[in-house]
Structure 1
Amino acid sequence: MTAADWAERLSTARPLLDRASTAELVADVLRENVIDGSLPPGTRLSEETIGNLLGVSRNTLREAFRLLSYENLLVHELHRGVFVRKLAAADVADIYAMRRILETASVRAAGAATSPTWKTTPRRLRAGRDETARVLRNGGGATAGRLRRPFALAPHRSEEAHPRRLT
Protein backbone atom coordinates (compact mmCIF):
# COMPACT_ATOMS: atom_id res chain seq x y z
CA MET A 1 0.00 0.00 0.00
CA THR A 2 1.41 3.36 -1.03
CA ALA A 3 1.22 6.56 0.97
CA ALA A 4 -1.36 7.92 -1.49
CA ASP A 5 -3.57 4.83 -1.04
CA TRP A 6 -3.29 5.08 2.70
CA ALA A 7 -4.14 8.81 2.68
CA GLU A 8 -7.15 8.22 0.43
CA ARG A 9 -8.36 5.41 2.69
CA LEU A 10 -8.12 7.63 5.76
CA SER A 11 -9.94 10.50 4.05
CA THR A 12 -12.88 8.23 3.21
CA ALA A 13 -13.15 7.32 6.91
CA ARG A 14 -13.46 10.95 7.98
CA PRO A 15 -17.29 11.06 7.97
CA LEU A 16 -17.25 8.27 10.53
CA LEU A 17 -15.47 10.58 12.97
CA ASP A 18 -18.40 13.01 12.92
CA ARG A 19 -20.86 10.50 14.33
CA ALA A 20 -21.70 10.40 18.02
CA SER A 21 -20.36 7.70 20.29
CA THR A 22 -22.72 5.12 21.75
CA ALA A 23 -22.22 6.68 25.18
CA GLU A 24 -23.33 10.07 23.80
CA LEU A 25 -26.40 8.49 22.21
CA VAL A 26 -27.28 6.74 25.49
CA ALA A 27 -26.75 10.04 27.32
CA ASP A 28 -29.16 11.71 24.85
CA VAL A 29 -31.85 9.11 25.61
CA LEU A 30 -31.39 9.43 29.36
CA ARG A 31 -31.21 13.24 29.18
CA GLU A 32 -34.54 13.39 27.36
CA ASN A 33 -36.15 11.13 29.96
CA VAL A 34 -34.83 13.27 32.82
CA ILE A 35 -35.93 16.52 31.18
CA ASP A 36 -39.45 15.36 30.33
CA GLY A 37 -40.00 13.99 33.85
CA SER A 38 -40.08 10.29 32.96
CA LEU A 39 -37.16 9.85 35.36
CA PRO A 40 -38.11 12.09 38.30
CA PRO A 41 -35.57 13.61 40.71
CA GLY A 42 -34.19 11.10 43.18
CA THR A 43 -34.71 8.08 40.92
CA ARG A 44 -31.92 5.50 41.24
CA LEU A 45 -30.61 4.46 37.83
CA SER A 46 -29.73 0.77 37.74
CA GLU A 47 -26.83 -0.05 35.44
CA GLU A 48 -28.07 -3.59 34.90
CA THR A 49 -31.66 -2.63 34.06
CA ILE A 50 -30.85 0.29 31.79
CA GLY A 51 -27.99 -1.58 30.12
CA ASN A 52 -30.31 -4.50 29.31
CA LEU A 53 -33.12 -2.23 28.09
CA LEU A 54 -30.84 -0.25 25.78
CA GLY A 55 -28.62 -3.16 24.81
CA VAL A 56 -25.39 -1.47 25.86
CA SER A 57 -22.49 -2.52 28.07
CA ARG A 58 -22.03 -1.25 31.61
CA ASN A 59 -18.91 0.61 30.52
CA THR A 60 -20.89 2.51 27.88
CA LEU A 61 -23.60 3.24 30.41
CA ARG A 62 -21.08 4.46 32.97
CA GLU A 63 -19.65 6.83 30.37
CA ALA A 64 -23.16 8.16 29.67
CA PHE A 65 -23.70 8.60 33.42
CA ARG A 66 -20.41 10.50 33.61
CA LEU A 67 -21.46 12.82 30.76
CA LEU A 68 -24.79 13.55 32.45
CA SER A 69 -23.08 14.06 35.81
CA TYR A 70 -20.95 16.79 34.20
CA GLU A 71 -24.20 18.41 33.09
CA ASN A 72 -25.49 18.18 36.70
CA LEU A 73 -28.45 16.05 35.67
CA LEU A 74 -27.21 12.99 37.57
CA VAL A 75 -25.39 12.51 40.86
CA HIS A 76 -23.09 9.60 41.73
CA GLU A 77 -23.22 8.63 45.39
CA LEU A 78 -20.37 6.41 46.55
CA HIS A 79 -21.49 2.83 47.32
CA ARG A 80 -25.12 3.74 46.49
CA GLY A 81 -25.26 4.32 42.76
CA VAL A 82 -26.34 6.97 40.30
CA PHE A 83 -29.43 9.10 40.90
CA VAL A 84 -31.35 11.78 39.04
CA ARG A 85 -30.33 15.04 40.70
CA LYS A 86 -32.80 16.74 43.02
CA LEU A 87 -32.92 20.49 42.60
CA ALA A 88 -32.36 22.68 45.64
CA ALA A 89 -34.45 25.80 46.21
CA ALA A 90 -31.51 27.94 45.05
CA ASP A 91 -31.32 25.96 41.78
CA VAL A 92 -35.01 26.57 41.08
CA ALA A 93 -34.66 30.27 41.89
CA ASP A 94 -31.72 30.53 39.46
CA ILE A 95 -33.66 28.73 36.72
CA TYR A 96 -36.69 30.98 37.05
CA ALA A 97 -34.57 34.13 37.23
CA MET A 98 -32.91 33.14 33.94
CA ARG A 99 -36.24 32.14 32.37
CA ARG A 100 -37.75 35.48 33.30
CA ILE A 101 -34.92 37.36 31.60
CA LEU A 102 -35.05 35.26 28.43
CA GLU A 103 -38.83 35.01 28.20
CA THR A 104 -39.44 38.71 28.76
CA ALA A 105 -37.03 39.52 25.94
CA SER A 106 -38.71 36.93 23.72
CA VAL A 107 -42.19 38.26 24.37
CA ARG A 108 -41.00 41.81 23.65
CA ALA A 109 -39.46 40.63 20.39
CA ALA A 110 -42.67 38.78 19.53
CA GLY A 111 -44.67 41.93 20.16
CA ALA A 112 -42.44 43.83 17.77
CA ALA A 113 -42.87 41.24 15.01
CA THR A 114 -45.14 42.21 12.13
CA SER A 115 -46.53 38.75 11.39
CA PRO A 116 -50.29 38.41 12.09
CA THR A 117 -49.57 35.16 13.92
CA TRP A 118 -47.54 37.01 16.53
CA LYS A 119 -50.49 39.28 17.36
CA THR A 120 -52.20 36.34 19.08
CA THR A 121 -49.05 35.19 20.88
CA PRO A 122 -49.77 36.72 24.33
CA ARG A 123 -53.26 35.16 24.41
CA ARG A 124 -51.92 31.76 23.30
CA LEU A 125 -49.12 31.91 25.84
CA ARG A 126 -51.51 32.69 28.69
CA ALA A 127 -53.78 29.82 27.58
CA GLY A 128 -50.83 27.43 27.56
CA ARG A 129 -49.68 28.59 30.97
CA ASP A 130 -53.20 28.13 32.36
CA GLU A 131 -53.40 24.61 30.86
CA THR A 132 -50.07 23.71 32.45
CA ALA A 133 -51.28 24.99 35.83
CA ARG A 134 -54.48 22.93 35.46
CA VAL A 135 -52.52 19.76 34.71
CA LEU A 136 -50.23 20.39 37.69
CA ARG A 137 -53.21 20.89 40.01
CA ASN A 138 -54.59 17.55 38.84
CA GLY A 139 -51.29 15.75 39.58
CA GLY A 140 -49.87 15.39 36.06
CA GLY A 141 -46.26 16.41 36.76
CA ALA A 142 -44.61 14.50 33.88
CA THR A 143 -47.28 15.69 31.43
CA ALA A 144 -46.84 19.26 32.62
CA GLY A 145 -43.14 19.10 31.76
CA ARG A 146 -44.05 18.38 28.15
CA LEU A 147 -46.80 21.04 28.18
CA ARG A 148 -44.44 23.75 29.43
CA ARG A 149 -42.15 23.52 26.41
CA PRO A 150 -44.33 25.24 23.80
CA PHE A 151 -45.60 27.79 26.31
CA ALA A 152 -42.38 28.61 28.10
CA LEU A 153 -42.78 32.22 27.05
CA ALA A 154 -45.99 32.72 29.07
CA PRO A 155 -45.68 35.91 31.12
CA HIS A 156 -45.93 35.89 34.88
CA ARG A 157 -49.22 37.10 36.40
CA SER A 158 -47.61 40.38 37.49
CA GLU A 159 -46.88 41.13 33.83
CA GLU A 160 -50.57 40.84 32.91
CA ALA A 161 -51.14 44.10 34.75
CA HIS A 162 -48.76 45.73 32.27
CA PRO A 163 -50.05 44.93 28.75
CA ARG A 164 -47.50 47.28 27.21
CA ARG A 165 -44.86 44.68 28.03
CA LEU A 166 -46.55 42.20 25.73
CA THR A 167 -46.72 44.44 22.67
Structure 2
Amino acid sequence: MNPHPEPVETPGLEERLQVSAVDASTEALRVAIVDGEFPAGSRLVEMEITARLGVSRNTVREVFRILQAERLVEREAHRGVVVRTLTPESIKDVFVVRRLAETGAIREAASAPLGTREECCRRMRAALADAGAALKASDAHRLAAADLAFHGAVAALAGSGRLVEVISAIKEELRLAFGSVPDRVAFHAPYVARNAEICELVENGEDEAAANVLHQYLIDSEAQIIALLTE
Protein backbone atom coordinates (compact mmCIF):
# COMPACT_ATOMS: atom_id res chain seq x y z
CA MET A 1 0.00 0.00 0.00
CA ASN A 2 1.32 3.42 -0.89
CA PRO A 3 1.80 5.38 2.38
CA HIS A 4 1.72 8.60 0.42
CA PRO A 5 -1.25 8.38 -1.95
CA GLU A 6 -1.49 10.85 -4.77
CA PRO A 7 -3.73 13.78 -3.87
CA VAL A 8 -7.07 13.80 -5.65
CA GLU A 9 -7.50 16.89 -7.76
CA THR A 10 -10.83 18.60 -7.28
CA PRO A 11 -12.15 21.57 -9.23
CA GLY A 12 -11.32 24.90 -7.67
CA LEU A 13 -13.99 27.39 -6.63
CA GLU A 14 -13.43 29.53 -9.71
CA GLU A 15 -13.84 26.52 -12.01
CA ARG A 16 -17.00 25.37 -10.23
CA LEU A 17 -18.47 28.86 -10.45
CA GLN A 18 -17.65 28.98 -14.16
CA VAL A 19 -19.42 25.65 -14.78
CA SER A 20 -22.41 26.86 -12.76
CA ALA A 21 -22.54 30.11 -14.74
CA VAL A 22 -22.44 28.23 -18.05
CA ASP A 23 -25.22 25.84 -16.99
CA ALA A 24 -27.47 28.62 -15.68
CA SER A 25 -26.83 30.86 -18.69
CA THR A 26 -27.42 28.01 -21.14
CA GLU A 27 -30.78 27.19 -19.59
CA ALA A 28 -31.80 30.86 -19.47
CA LEU A 29 -31.05 31.37 -23.16
CA ARG A 30 -32.51 27.97 -24.07
CA VAL A 31 -35.82 28.88 -22.41
CA ALA A 32 -35.84 32.31 -24.07
CA ILE A 33 -35.39 30.67 -27.48
CA VAL A 34 -38.00 27.98 -26.88
CA ASP A 35 -40.48 30.54 -25.53
CA GLY A 36 -40.12 32.61 -28.69
CA GLU A 37 -38.31 35.63 -27.28
CA PHE A 38 -35.81 35.05 -30.07
CA PRO A 39 -37.80 33.97 -33.15
CA ALA A 40 -36.40 31.61 -35.76
CA GLY A 41 -33.64 33.29 -37.77
CA SER A 42 -32.90 35.89 -35.08
CA ARG A 43 -29.27 36.89 -34.65
CA LEU A 44 -27.82 36.33 -31.19
CA VAL A 45 -25.30 39.11 -30.79
CA GLU A 46 -22.56 38.14 -28.36
CA MET A 47 -22.30 41.53 -26.62
CA GLU A 48 -26.08 41.80 -26.21
CA ILE A 49 -26.39 38.30 -24.76
CA THR A 50 -23.44 39.00 -22.45
CA ALA A 51 -25.24 42.07 -21.10
CA ARG A 52 -28.57 40.25 -20.83
CA LEU A 53 -27.14 37.32 -18.87
CA GLY A 54 -24.59 39.32 -16.88
CA VAL A 55 -21.75 36.93 -17.66
CA SER A 56 -18.43 37.03 -19.49
CA ARG A 57 -18.04 36.76 -23.25
CA ASN A 58 -16.20 33.46 -22.78
CA THR A 59 -19.25 32.09 -20.94
CA VAL A 60 -21.56 33.24 -23.74
CA ARG A 61 -19.33 31.58 -26.34
CA GLU A 62 -19.57 28.31 -24.40
CA VAL A 63 -23.36 28.73 -24.19
CA PHE A 64 -23.50 29.19 -27.97
CA ARG A 65 -21.38 26.06 -28.43
CA ILE A 66 -23.76 23.99 -26.27
CA LEU A 67 -26.89 25.31 -27.97
CA GLN A 68 -25.38 24.65 -31.38
CA ALA A 69 -24.71 21.04 -30.36
CA GLU A 70 -28.36 20.83 -29.28
CA ARG A 71 -29.36 22.17 -32.72
CA LEU A 72 -31.17 25.17 -31.28
CA VAL A 73 -28.83 27.65 -32.96
CA GLU A 74 -26.49 27.57 -35.93
CA ARG A 75 -23.69 29.70 -37.35
CA GLU A 76 -24.25 31.48 -40.63
CA ALA A 77 -21.65 33.19 -42.77
CA HIS A 78 -21.62 36.98 -42.27
CA ARG A 79 -24.38 36.75 -39.63
CA GLY A 80 -22.87 34.78 -36.79
CA VAL A 81 -25.06 32.79 -34.41
CA VAL A 82 -28.76 32.64 -35.29
CA VAL A 83 -31.76 30.77 -33.91
CA ARG A 84 -32.35 27.69 -36.03
CA THR A 85 -35.35 27.67 -38.34
CA LEU A 86 -37.22 24.38 -38.24
CA THR A 87 -38.38 22.98 -41.55
CA PRO A 88 -40.92 20.24 -42.29
CA GLU A 89 -37.98 18.01 -43.23
CA SER A 90 -36.24 18.55 -39.87
CA ILE A 91 -39.48 17.84 -37.99
CA LYS A 92 -39.97 14.63 -39.98
CA ASP A 93 -36.41 13.59 -39.20
CA VAL A 94 -36.93 14.07 -35.45
CA PHE A 95 -40.18 12.11 -35.48
CA VAL A 96 -38.68 9.22 -37.44
CA VAL A 97 -36.18 8.86 -34.59
CA ARG A 98 -38.96 9.12 -32.00
CA ARG A 99 -41.13 6.47 -33.63
CA LEU A 100 -38.27 4.01 -33.95
CA ALA A 101 -36.85 4.64 -30.47
CA GLU A 102 -39.98 4.98 -28.36
CA THR A 103 -42.12 2.25 -29.90
CA GLY A 104 -39.05 0.01 -29.96
CA ALA A 105 -38.47 0.66 -26.26
CA ILE A 106 -42.02 -0.43 -25.44
CA ARG A 107 -41.65 -3.61 -27.49
CA GLU A 108 -38.40 -4.42 -25.64
CA ALA A 109 -39.88 -3.75 -22.19
CA ALA A 110 -40.52 -7.43 -21.47
CA SER A 111 -36.79 -8.14 -21.86
CA ALA A 112 -35.62 -5.25 -19.67
CA PRO A 113 -34.00 -5.81 -16.26
CA LEU A 114 -36.29 -6.63 -13.34
CA GLY A 115 -38.03 -3.55 -11.96
CA THR A 116 -37.50 -1.41 -15.07
CA ARG A 117 -41.17 -1.39 -16.06
CA GLU A 118 -42.31 -0.46 -12.55
CA GLU A 119 -39.82 2.40 -12.27
CA CYS A 120 -40.66 3.75 -15.73
CA CYS A 121 -44.39 3.57 -15.02
CA ARG A 122 -43.82 5.46 -11.78
CA ARG A 123 -42.01 8.16 -13.75
CA MET A 124 -44.77 8.24 -16.36
CA ARG A 125 -47.42 8.64 -13.65
CA ALA A 126 -45.43 11.48 -12.07
CA ALA A 127 -45.17 13.21 -15.46
CA LEU A 128 -48.92 12.79 -16.02
CA ALA A 129 -49.65 14.35 -12.63
CA ASP A 130 -47.38 17.27 -13.48
CA ALA A 131 -49.08 17.65 -16.86
CA GLY A 132 -52.49 17.72 -15.19
CA ALA A 133 -51.38 20.48 -12.83
CA ALA A 134 -49.85 22.40 -15.74
CA LEU A 135 -53.09 22.15 -17.71
CA LYS A 136 -55.07 23.61 -14.81
CA ALA A 137 -52.57 26.47 -14.58
CA SER A 138 -52.40 26.91 -18.39
CA ASP A 139 -48.62 26.65 -18.02
CA ALA A 140 -47.31 25.83 -21.50
CA HIS A 141 -43.66 25.60 -20.46
CA ARG A 142 -44.45 23.10 -17.69
CA LEU A 143 -46.73 21.13 -20.02
CA ALA A 144 -43.94 20.70 -22.55
CA ALA A 145 -41.51 19.67 -19.80
CA ALA A 146 -43.99 17.10 -18.47
CA ASP A 147 -44.50 15.68 -21.96
CA LEU A 148 -40.76 15.32 -22.48
CA ALA A 149 -40.42 13.68 -19.05
CA PHE A 150 -43.18 11.20 -19.93
CA HIS A 151 -41.56 10.21 -23.21
CA GLY A 152 -38.15 10.04 -21.58
CA ALA A 153 -39.62 7.41 -19.26
CA VAL A 154 -41.08 5.56 -22.26
CA ALA A 155 -37.64 5.46 -23.88
CA ALA A 156 -36.19 4.01 -20.67
CA LEU A 157 -38.54 0.99 -20.77
CA ALA A 158 -36.04 -1.06 -22.75
CA GLY A 159 -33.44 -0.68 -20.02
CA SER A 160 -30.95 0.64 -22.59
CA GLY A 161 -28.83 3.64 -21.68
CA ARG A 162 -27.91 4.18 -25.33
CA LEU A 163 -31.56 4.37 -26.35
CA VAL A 164 -32.21 6.95 -23.64
CA GLU A 165 -29.26 8.96 -24.99
CA VAL A 166 -30.80 8.92 -28.48
CA ILE A 167 -34.01 10.50 -27.17
CA SER A 168 -32.08 12.95 -24.97
CA ALA A 169 -30.14 14.10 -28.03
CA ILE A 170 -33.31 15.35 -29.74
CA LYS A 171 -35.01 16.72 -26.62
CA GLU A 172 -34.09 20.35 -27.23
CA GLU A 173 -35.17 20.17 -30.87
CA LEU A 174 -38.53 18.96 -29.61
CA ARG A 175 -38.70 21.88 -27.19
CA LEU A 176 -37.99 24.20 -30.12
CA ALA A 177 -40.73 22.53 -32.16
CA PHE A 178 -43.21 22.83 -29.28
CA GLY A 179 -42.21 26.46 -28.81
CA SER A 180 -43.07 27.22 -32.44
CA VAL A 181 -46.72 26.25 -31.88
CA PRO A 182 -48.96 29.34 -31.49
CA ASP A 183 -51.19 27.99 -28.68
CA ARG A 184 -49.03 25.49 -26.84
CA VAL A 185 -51.55 24.69 -24.11
CA ALA A 186 -54.23 23.80 -26.67
CA PHE A 187 -51.67 21.78 -28.62
CA HIS A 188 -50.56 19.68 -25.64
CA ALA A 189 -53.96 19.21 -23.97
CA PRO A 190 -55.29 16.24 -26.03
CA TYR A 191 -51.96 14.43 -25.83
CA VAL A 192 -52.10 14.29 -22.03
CA ALA A 193 -55.04 11.87 -22.21
CA ARG A 194 -53.29 9.86 -24.91
CA ASN A 195 -50.18 9.62 -22.75
CA ALA A 196 -52.37 8.31 -19.92
CA GLU A 197 -53.74 5.62 -22.25
CA ILE A 198 -50.21 4.54 -23.20
CA CYS A 199 -49.18 4.42 -19.55
CA GLU A 200 -52.14 2.22 -18.62
CA LEU A 201 -51.42 -0.21 -21.44
CA VAL A 202 -47.76 -0.49 -20.41
CA GLU A 203 -48.74 -1.02 -16.77
CA ASN A 204 -51.00 -3.88 -17.86
CA GLY A 205 -48.27 -5.47 -19.96
CA GLU A 206 -50.11 -4.76 -23.23
CA ASP A 207 -46.92 -3.66 -24.93
CA GLU A 208 -47.87 -4.22 -28.57
CA ALA A 209 -51.10 -2.26 -28.12
CA ALA A 210 -49.18 0.53 -26.35
CA ALA A 211 -46.59 0.67 -29.15
CA ASN A 212 -49.34 0.89 -31.78
CA VAL A 213 -51.14 3.68 -29.92
CA LEU A 214 -47.87 5.58 -29.54
CA HIS A 215 -47.00 5.10 -33.22
CA GLN A 216 -50.25 6.77 -34.30
CA TYR A 217 -49.85 9.44 -31.60
CA LEU A 218 -46.45 10.41 -33.02
CA ILE A 219 -47.76 10.45 -36.60
CA ASP A 220 -50.55 12.81 -35.50
CA SER A 221 -48.20 15.05 -33.50
CA GLU A 222 -45.75 15.32 -36.39
CA ALA A 223 -48.50 16.21 -38.86
CA GLN A 224 -49.98 18.81 -36.51
CA ILE A 225 -46.65 20.56 -35.88
CA ILE A 226 -45.80 20.64 -39.60
CA ALA A 227 -49.25 22.03 -40.42
CA LEU A 228 -48.83 24.79 -37.83
CA LEU A 229 -45.32 25.61 -39.06
CA THR A 230 -46.45 25.97 -42.66
CA GLU A 231 -49.65 27.98 -42.08
**Range class of TM-score, shorter chain:** 0.5 to 0.7
Tell me which residue corresponds to 1:15: 10
Q: Larger radius of gyration, structure 1 or 2?
A: 1
Does structure 1 retain, via aligned residues, the 8 Å contact 2:21–2:59?
no
Partner of 2:82: 83
- What is the CA deviation profile of residues 106-161 of structure 1, one whole-angstrom value per residue up to 9, with x for unaligned ones? 3234467776x84xx5xx68x95xx69xx6xxx9754442131122244999xx9x
Q: What amino acid sits opposite 1:69 in the alignment?
A: Q
User: Which residue, 37, 50, 53 being the options, matches 2:34?
Assistant: 37
Deviations 1:46-77 (A, max 9, x none): 42343134332223312331343244321123
| 1:60 to 1:102, Cα distance in 2 relative to 1, 3 A | same
Q: Alpha-carbon deviations, 1:70-99, whole Å to 9, x = none?
A: 443211234434222122222211211111
Give % identity: 27
Q: Normalising by the residue count of structure 2, what TM-score does the alignment of the two structures yield?
A: 0.43
Distance 1:69 1:22 in 2: 19
TM-score normalised by the chain length of structure 1: 0.54
Q: Distance in 1 between matches of 2:64 and 2:20?
A: 10
The answer for the alignment partner of 1:101 in structure 2 is: 100
C-alpha RMSD of matched pairs (Å):
4.7
Q: Is 1:60 aligned with 2:55?
A: no
Contact kept in structure 1, 2:22 and 2:62, CA below 8 Å: no
Matched, 1:26 2:25: no
**Structure 1 residue 33: deviation in Å?**
4.9
Range with bigger deviation, 78-87 or 31-40: 31-40
Moved more, 74-83 or 84-93: 74-83
Amino acid in the other structure paired with 1:85 = R
* Unaligned residue ranges in structure 2 (runs of 5+): 155-194, 212-231
